[in-house]
Structure formats: C-alpha cells, structure tokens
C-alpha cells in the first residue's frame, strides 16, 4: 500500500496535466514532456531537436574534446539555442570531451562534499540546514542540467551552477557559498 500510493497519485496528476487545463501548467511545458516521451524519431519538434543536437555535440567531443582544434566551423553546439545557459554542458562536452566533463563533475563533487563537511561541523542546527541546503541545491541543479543535455529528462531551463550564463543565478550561488563559508568560520 505504501508503494502503490505514490504511483496512483502520480498517475492521477499525470492524467490531470494531460487532459485538463491546470492553471499552473503552461502549454509549452506539456509539449516538452510529450515530445520527450514520444518515440517518433522523425518528429523534429523544437525540444527534441535541441536535445538531439546536444547529445550530438557531447558525442563529437570524444575523449579530449575539440578545444585544441582552432577550426570553429565544425562545432556542433553552435546549432543549439541557449548553449551558453540551458545547454552549457553540451558545449563543455564538445570543447573538453569526456575528460573535461569528468574534471568538472569532480570539482563539483569536492564542493558538495566540502559543504557537507562544514554542515557536519556547524555549531548549530540552522548552520547544518543552510550548508546541507546549499549542497543539495548545487547537486540538484547540476544533475537536472546534465540530464537535460544528455537527453535523460525533458527540457527544463535549469542553469548549471557557476557555469551557465546569467547573473541572478550566479549571485544566488555566490550568496549560498558565502553563507556556507561564514558557517565554516563560526565553527572554528
């Protein structure tokens, strides 16, 4: 019963989103999900085209990427709309390849682990909550952005922390890391 309840609830929500006009769901959001779930390979909708181009850009990067190659005419990520924000991981994958993506994810892992270590040594409960929330935010948003770029989840428009173009998200992450560093200094 405990396993069936979330499945039944998600089915009702899914049917409600697809068949009734819910005020908090826009038409383009439904279209993105339906395009993602579609198995028609010939369908060339905007969402599917973006994600297919993103996967092609990541694949063309190979192991070491194209950063050393100065011929910019063979770059695939130029065909991707918003490659500096929503699909930045595909540009990184093409320019720096698997090794560059691995290094980037390793650096994020170090940052998240450091936030969790500071949370473990925080002097109070509020400090632990803030540090854990910042590390969860960074992990979640990086996972969502990578999932969109690699065609694992539908297009969402979530920025890649500290990498994507956008001042508001950058300032938000900087404030979060500043709070974590302040809590880390208080624990000493």
Cα distances (Å, whole numbers) of residue 110 to 36, 39, 80, 138: 32, 38, 30, 12
Res. 181 pLDDT band, cuts 50 70 90: very high
d(CA 91, CA 149): 9
- Quick one: 113 exposed, middle or buried, by C-beta within 10 A (0-12, 13-18, 19+)? exposed
d(CA 184, CA 178): 10
Q: How does pLDDT run across 72-122, given as a tens digit for each residue?
A: 566 665 566 666 667 888 888 888 889 999 999 999 999 999 999 999 999
* pLDDT surpassing 60 at residue 43: no
d(CA 27, CA 153): 18
The answer to whether 163 touches 40, Cβ cutoff 8 Å, is no
Mean pLDDT of the chain: 80
């Amino acid at each position: 019963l405990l396993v069936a309840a979330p499945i039944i609830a998600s089915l009702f929500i899914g049917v409600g989103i697809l068949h009734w006009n819910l005020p908090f769901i826009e038409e383009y959001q439904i279209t993105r999900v339906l395009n993602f779930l579609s198995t028609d390979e010939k369908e060339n909708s905007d969402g599917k085209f973006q994600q297919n181009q993103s996967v092609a850009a990541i694949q063309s990067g190979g192991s070491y990427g194209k950063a050393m190659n100065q011929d910019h005419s063979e770059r695939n990520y130029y065909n991707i709309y918003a490659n500096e924000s929503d699909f930045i991981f595909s540009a990184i994958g093409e320019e720096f390849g698997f090794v560059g993506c691995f290094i980037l994810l390793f650096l994020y892992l170090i940052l998240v682990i450091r936030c969790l270590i500071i949370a473990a040594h925080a002097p109070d409960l509020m400090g632990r909550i803030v540090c854990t929330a910042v590390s969860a935010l960074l992990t979640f948003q990086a996972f969502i952005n990578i999932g969109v770029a690699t065609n694992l989840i539908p297009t969402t428009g979530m920025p890649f922390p500290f990498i994507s173009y956008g001042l508001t998200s950058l300032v938000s992450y900087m404030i979060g890391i500043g709070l974590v560093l302040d809590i880390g200094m208080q624990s000493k």
